[in-house]
Structure 1
Amino acid sequence: MPDGDDSADTDEVLVERREGVLLLTLNRPDRLNAWTATMQQRYLELLERADSDRKVRAIVLTGAGRGFCAGADIAGLAEVAPEEAASGGHALSLPIRIRKPVISAINGPVAGVGLVAALFTDIRFAARDAKFTTAFSKRGLVAEYGLAWLLPKLVGVGRALDLLLSARTLPGTEAHELGLVDRVLPEEEVLDAALTYARALATECSPASMADIKQQVYTGLDTGLETATADAGERMINAFRRPDVTEGARSHQQRRPPDFPPLEQ
């Protein structure tokens, strides 16, 4: 059951709290949740607030209605200056830079900047019949907002170039086969599955451990083994100084749910 709602129905991103999980819903269902500057600003603000909110331990992102996000709102895009359109692109990688896990529930069509937002989440659940496309080359655009950095890491260089150059549409099942998403389910099960997974993270896993692990993985994408090993050693020392290790051991021995402290601000 929700334990609080932070937004009105007119907001372009809705907010709902569920037992340590913050559910964010892109909310322009009549436009397949087409991306706008207002939506982006609110989404990023909510992520930043969630990262410092002691009650939030995991975040789920989804779309209202029958789609996740059909890409940029073309009607509004024509009125935006090139410099303005390009600004703030780095911010869409915010989910991998905050300390808390972000899970996307891709319930329907996802394209362009919507695909960027989905792929920059940590774990991705998708409907089997959801339609995926990069879209950029068919709109005369480039691989926007860091997608050219991320895609090869997810699917390899050749497959990344295929998806970016052709902008072909693929179903959720193929997206899963390629490695774009981590789980595929019937559309009606996607959100519940993502929320169940997020709730397990929120109730069973140490927030401090998850924050460290996220940073280790994403930093490791651009560093060597020696650097990663040395970093892990330093983090292990810090981990043993936290109460989480003691609580993790005790809760396991006593066969009870752990009571990990929230992240320090």
Structure 2
Amino acid sequence: MPEENGSGVAPQVLAEYHDAVLLLTLNRPDQLNAWTPTMQHRYFDLLEHADQDPSVRAIVLTGAGRGFCAGADVATLADLPVESHSRNDHPPSLPIRLRKPVIAAINGSAAGVGLVAALFTDVRFAAADAKFTTAFSRRGLVAEHGIAWLLPKLIGVSKALDLLLSARTVAGTEAHELGLVDRVLPRDEVLDAALEYAHTLATECSPAAMADIKQQIYSGLDTGLETAASDAGERMIAALHRPDSAENDGNHHADRAPRFPPLD
């Protein structure tokens, strides 16, 4: 697993294994986990490593302390050259490009790039009193990091425009009604619920099937029905020849948990 240098300073993203689930925690609690280039690079390095690690079958992302991520740390952004904002070496959309499911446990405020990081996970659990805002228009900025592509697909065009144009703040309950998050819970239950869900995926679902399903969903956002149906047919043929299919047949008779092989 990637590590920061041996300076003795706590990493800006913590990594902790819960059996086959990797918990990643944004770790600048005194700054409400404000996003920095150091945090970004470590987060994406950990994601890429986890996607290649056969012992990891699901990933959970949360924030330390009382916030999820309050957006970009303005002090660190001031030191970046303007051209760095257009670089695509570590796109915030990386989680949806991984083969493995990434679950957000949004325990507090998610603003700007923090909201983007939350939305580009696959399934989102949120605290009922968490606060969400796009923030960009109130800072004189455009809709950054691919959120203008994703948000209309999640909640529709007019609702996306509402949140992006006004940058108004919505609580977790409204976020759930809008479709920004999938589960809303009391704050102290969010992380446990997300970990339990991820554990179910890791122990009961085929990693190969989940990888295929993710690719189907996200590639299908930009393709037509015929293309998606044809792709599904080809994937089904391949799936029927995987060990996962035989394991599923045997599981119906063995009265035991499935033993799906890890991803290569």
Range class of TM-score, shorter chain: over 0.9
Distance (Å, rounded) in 1 between the aligned partners of 2:43 and 2:86:
17
Distance (Å, rounded) in 1 between the aligned partners of 2:52 and 2:164:
35
Matched, 1:148 2:151: no
Q: When the two structures are superposed, what TM-score results if normalisation uses the length of structure 2?
A: 0.96
* 8 Å contact from structure 1 (residues 6, 14) kept in 2: no
TM-superposed deviation, 1:198:
0.2
Correspondence for 2:231? 231
Matched, 1:205 2:229: no
Distance (Å, rounded) in 2 between the aligned partners of 1:85 and 1:76:
13
* 8 Å contact from structure 2 (residues 41, 90) kept in 1: no
Correspondence for 2:183? 183
Could you list the per-position Cα deviations for residues 151-201 of structure 1 after superposition, in whole angstroms to 9, with x for gaps in the alignment? 000000000000000000000000000000000000000000000000000
Change (3 A) 1:83 1:29: same
Correspondence for 2:25? 25
1:66 maps to amino acid: R
Correspondence for 1:88? 88
Unaligned runs of 5+ in 1: none
Change (3 A) 1:224 1:90: farther
CA RMSD between the two structures: 1.6
Q: What count of residue pairs does the alignment treat as equivalent? A: 261
Correspondence for 1:249? 249
TM-superposed deviation, 1:76:
1.6
Correspondence for 1:171? 171
2:59 maps to amino acid: I
Could you list the per-position Cα deviations for residues 9-39 of structure 1 after superposition, in whole angstroms to 9, with x for gaps in the alignment? 7100000001100000000000000000000
Could you list the per-position Cα deviations for residues 195-234 of structure 1 after superposition, in whole angstroms to 9, with x for gaps in the alignment? 0000000000000000000000001111001001100010
TM-superposed deviation, 1:89:
7.4
Aligned partner of residue 132 in structure 2, secondary structure: strand
2:66 maps to amino acid: R
Task: Kindly report which structure 2 residues correspond to 1:44-63, keeping only aligned pairs within 5 A, or say none.
Answer: 44-63=44-63
TM-superposed deviation, 1:5:
11
Distance (Å, rounded) in 2 between the aligned partners of 1:159 and 1:94:
24
Distance (Å, rounded) in 1 between the aligned partners of 2:49 and 2:157:
35
1:64 maps to amino acid: A
1:164 maps to amino acid: L
Distance (Å, rounded) in 2 between the aligned partners of 1:197 and 1:249:
24
* 8 Å contact from structure 1 (residues 50, 56) kept in 2: yes
TM-superposed deviation, 1:6:
7.0
Aligned partner of residue 91 in structure 1, secondary structure: coil
Task: Kindly report which structure 2 residues correspond to 1:71-86, keeping only aligned pairs within 5 A, or say none.
Answer: 71-86=71-86
Distance (Å, rounded) in 1 between the aligned partners of 2:86 and 2:196:
36
Unaligned runs of 5+ in 2: none
1:60 maps to amino acid: V
Q: Which runs of 4+ in 1 moved over 3 A?
A: 4-9
Identity of aligned residues (%): 71
* 8 Å contact from structure 2 (residues 2, 45) kept in 1: no
TM-superposed deviation, 1:90:
6.2
* 8 Å contact from structure 1 (residues 5, 16) kept in 2: no
* 8 Å contact from structure 1 (residues 5, 17) kept in 2: no
2:74 maps to amino acid: I
Distance (Å, rounded) in 1 between the aligned partners of 2:74 and 2:3:
29
Matched, 1:216 2:213: no
Change (3 A) 1:148 1:188: same
Distance (Å, rounded) in 2 between the aligned partners of 1:255 and 1:176:
37
Distance (Å, rounded) in 2 between the aligned partners of 1:62 and 1:9:
20
